[in-house]
Amino acid sequence: MYIKPIKSALISVYHKENLDVITDLLKKFDVHIYSTGGTQQFLESQGAKVTSIESLTGYPSILGGRVKTLHPKVFGGILARLSNPEDIQQTAQYEIPAFDLVIVDLYPFEKTVATGASETDIIEKIDIGGISLIRAAAKNFQEVAIIASQNQYQLLIEMLENNNGATSIEDRKLLATHAFATSSDYDAHIFNYFNKTAQLPQLRASFKQSKTLRYGENPHQKGIFFGNLYDMFEQLNGKELSYNNLVDVEAAVALVEEFEETAYVIIKHTNACGVAIAETPLEAYQKALACDNISAFGGVIATNKPVDLATALELNKLFFEVLIAPSFDAEALGTLNSKKNRIILQQLQPLKNTAQYKTLLNGVLWQEKDNVIENETQFQKVTEKIPTQNEEKALAFALKICKHTKSNTIILAKEDVLIASGVGQTSRVDALEQAIEKANHFGFSLKGAVMASDAFFPFPDCVEIAHKAGITAVVQPGGSVKDVDSIEYCNKNNVAMVFTGVRHFKH
């Protein structure tokens, strides 16, 4: 194992927090420090002796600080291979000092973009010297240890303390890996900023944070969540979220956010088994549970309103995996936390993702998220019978659920409650018959109910089956070459039907 003492270090950082601990260690091990600008001033304020980069290169910081470290005497000292006689001869000839440690913390480009700053300010936060130092030091990890972010200070501290001011080749290679992760993430954010305008058909995705899950979809599969989940949720109780929990949480939140009214949504395997809106949270929950109290067992529940004690007492009677809400009354939370494994999430912000990705074959599919939903004002009335006001509300309600249900799907509903759904069937008729059978099983009358379909009806069989079951109004995208056949059946049998012109497949 090649243990190399650190004799000289180059430090150039944007953030100075916690750098004092590093400074004390470098002083302890008598490390010769090179630096410039604000970093040099900070190090000297901590009692460190510092050689300025300007005195090494013979050039001042120029162009408003854009050029400080970009010089052969800097990069030669980082990239020199001590096992290469020619490199050693040239560094001696040109009086280039060798660097054993480089510490960099880049300009905060991503954070500057997030503040909505001007393009001028954003461009100035594209680090040039720092990113070059990182890549050079990481490339020459055989000789140089690289710290590419203040997030790695603690790692360096442990390495120096454990090795008495030295680093091993294993240490340096690990640090190089971290460094290239930092540089690639930085470049990805810069590309994505510019590509908002250019719209090049290229994909760059980078997540600095991750959480290893207990397992993936099944226990024999590994699983990791990439991203900062706790920017969106505060977990108030329960075990760690699983892969399947997270998939269902996404489905529950996406659906409940469709409603402005007080709503409760119950999800099982990404599909809704209970949805209702009502005047009070308690009534909304009770109506949602009544949709299918069997499938609700072990499900994921979401609401768009605070959870009060009355609703919590009812929720507490059901075994469920996860409950998501914007807030919880203190007494309600005490009741819900009585089950130690029950996951309680307070939602801190709405879903913001505007795109969806899926690995497929030897690549990745990208698409815009389906953020479209039609309401009563957009319905195209195509039958002689016009939907009543209550039927229109029911159709709009059903359509929201339909959009979030696996295709082929049929939703049967009234204006404030899901009655039954046919989910993920290979034919639309099968989906409808599944929904009717389920409604009958749970004792729901379909008389006066409405039907929503995620895609058009290629034949009139679905409207015929629905009518005979008691359905009085239908919403579908339209667009079949045989639309007229479905319209004619509805006209002959006093069924109202509206088209939206928008398909909502979900695979």
From 125, 139, 208, 385, active-site residue: 139
Q: Which of 346, 506, 497 is nearest to 421 (CA)?
A: 506
Rg, C-alpha atoms of the chain: 31
Nearest CA-CA partner of 226 in 213, 217, 215: 213
State CA 33 to chain mean position distance.
41
Quick one: CA dihedral 147, 151, 152, 157, positive or negative? positive
73 is catalytic: no
Residue 269 appears among annotated catalytic residues: yes
Catalytic residue among 27, 269, 339, 385: 269
Q: Does residue 53 contact residue 36 with C-beta atoms inside 8 Å?
A: yes
Asked if residue 281 lies in contact with residue 262, where contact means CB atoms within 8 angstroms, the answer is yes
In angstroms, how far is the first alpha carbon of the chain from the final one? 52
Question: Can you tell me whether residue 65 is helix, strand or coil?
Answer: coil
Alpha helices in 242-292 (DSSP H): 243-256, 281-291
* Paired tokens of 426: 């290979």
Determine contact, residues 146/125, Cβ cutoff 8 Å: no
Residues, the chain: 507
For residue 445, the Cα-to-chain-centroid distance in whole angstroms is: 41
- Whose tokens are 């130690």? That residue is 340
Cα–Cα distance between 486 and 478 in angstroms, integer?
10
> Cα–Cα distance between 323 and 336 in angstroms, integer?
9
Contact status, residue 49 vs residue 33, Cβ threshold 8 Å: yes
DSSP 21-40: HHHHHHHHTT-EEEE-HHHH
Q: 170: which residues sit within 8 A by CB, 6+ positions away?
A: 1
Nearest to 456 by CA among 436, 430, 492, 483: 483
CA distance 160 to 9: 13
Residues 6+ apart with CB under 8 A from 283: 276
Catalytic residue annotation: 139, 269
